[in-house]
Chain A
């Protein structure tokens, strides 16, 4: 995963969240603060979950908050939030969630490239285990860098 997309300031470790909505807001806010999205992007994610159900919880413990690019995305970016205490999204199988990886996309090819790198990373269980026990954003960035160097 390229540092163009995931910066240290977009990672928050062992955060506290009152509920799923609070957790989604925290992960979305990092994208807003880094200029990747407008506030409306966060609202779009929350509305979609309320309307369609928490399908963004794609795997046990892991949520991928995202909306359509036209719903407030400004440029491509990723944020990672891990939670001190997991929250319930109301997903029948994959609750509770303790890792949120929010992202914004665009329609370009670079978006696809970013998502493929992200998917490749999240697909490996040991990477999720690493995120769960990580103690600082720097640790996460270093881990990702070393991993890419090592192949």
Chain B
């Protein structure tokens, strides 16, 4: 196995001992790859990321079976702190900045474990990527615009020196032009800095445009995976995730047929 491969094998997550949120999910993120994980609300995307970062227990979730490995080491059961130290950093859904802290202080917190020299170096990188944050570094993060907050959230994660960056719906609630900017940054992070990216999205069109490989999760299970180009060409994906209806409109009966088939598959 390559160093820096993140692999999830047959993961099952159960909340409160009763509700199965993720079942038998396997996925693999190769070093320096961008992998998209797509799915609707409640499909289990965020649960998967929580399991990855070791923060399931807040909602009484447990990894019932399966494994999460990075570099060949098992991550399940590690404390969130140790997972961050191994280089897996998450940008949580809804950004989750520290609203009452300034931009600079938020960045400091991202690099909580870093040495002062590393902090200075990484801060320079962050400000190069997001010049706007350099202008606003003394401002209270809670008063920034949504796009700027997303920049702070990504910058904060970069301060931890990630090898794998897990982004949970970075486009959520942002204007299309801002999403373009954020996606462009993610592309640069991957290309110029060699950061591996696991991109969790509802916005399939955007995500598949950036990622080289994609997984589609529905009701806690991976229902489809493949290289982005192939997923984009898949008729079901086109219809249900990309919103492309062919020349002829389908009748409701065919939609029902698709849904029935999906249930059988899963």
- Binding partners A and B: no
